[in-house]
Amino acid sequence: MRVLITGGAGFIGSHLCERFLQEGHDVIAMDNLLTGNAENIAHLFGNDHFRFVKHDVTHYIYVAGPIDAILHFASPASPIDYLELPIQTLKVNALGTHNALGLAMEKGARFLLASTSEVYGDPLIHPQPESYWGNVNPVGPRGVYDEAKRFAEAITMAYHRSHGLETRIVRIFNTYGPRMRLADGRVVPNFIQQALRHEPLTVYGDGGQTRSFQYVSDLVEGLYKLLHSDEVDPVNIGNPREFTIRQFAELVNEVTNNPAGITIKPDLRITDDPQTRQPDITRACSILGWEPAVEIEDGIRLTVPYFREQLRRLGQLPPDRHST
Confidence at residue 150, expressed as pLDDT on a 0 to 100 scale: 98
Domain residue spans in the chain?
A: 2-176+214-237, 187-211+241-278+295-321
Show pLDDT as tens, one digit a residue, over the chain (324 residues): 999 999 999 999 999 999 999 999 999 999 999 999 999 999 999 999 999 999 999 999 999 999 999 999 999 998 889 889 999 999 999 999 999 999 999 999 999 999 999 999 999 999 999 999 999 999 998 999 999 999 999 999 999 999 999 999 999 999 999 999 998 888 999 999 999 999 999 998 788 888 899 999 999 999 999 999 999 999 999 999 999 999 999 999 999 999 999 998 876 556 656 777 899 999 999 999 999 999 999 999 999 999 999 999 999 887 764 443
Query: CB–CB of 135/122 below 8 Å?
Result: yes
Q: 145 catalytic, yes or no?
A: yes
Query: CB–CB of 168/100 below 8 Å?
Result: no
Query: CB–CB of 192/234 below 8 Å?
Result: no
pTM for this prediction: 0.94
Work out the angle at residue 72's Cα, subtended by the Cα atoms of residues 209 and 187, and round it to the nearest 5 degrees: 25
Confidence at residue 321, expressed as pLDDT on a 0 to 100 scale: 47
What sign results for the dihedral spanned by CA atoms 152, 157, 160, 162?
negative
Q: Please report, as a single letter, which amino acid is at residue 225.
A: K
Tell me which of 82, 120, 145, 215 is the catalytic residue.
Answer: 145
295 Rama class: left (phi>0) / alpha (psi -120 to 50) / beta:
beta
SS3 148: helix
Question: What CATH number does the domain located at 2-176+214-237 have?
Answer: 3.40.50.720
Confidence at residue 185, expressed as pLDDT on a 0 to 100 scale: 85
Question: Is domain 187-211+241-278+295-321 classified as CATH 3.90.25.10?
Answer: yes
Radius of gyration of the chain (CA): 19
Query: CB–CB of 79/183 below 8 Å?
Result: no
SS3 51: strand
Confidence at residue 184, expressed as pLDDT on a 0 to 100 scale: 87
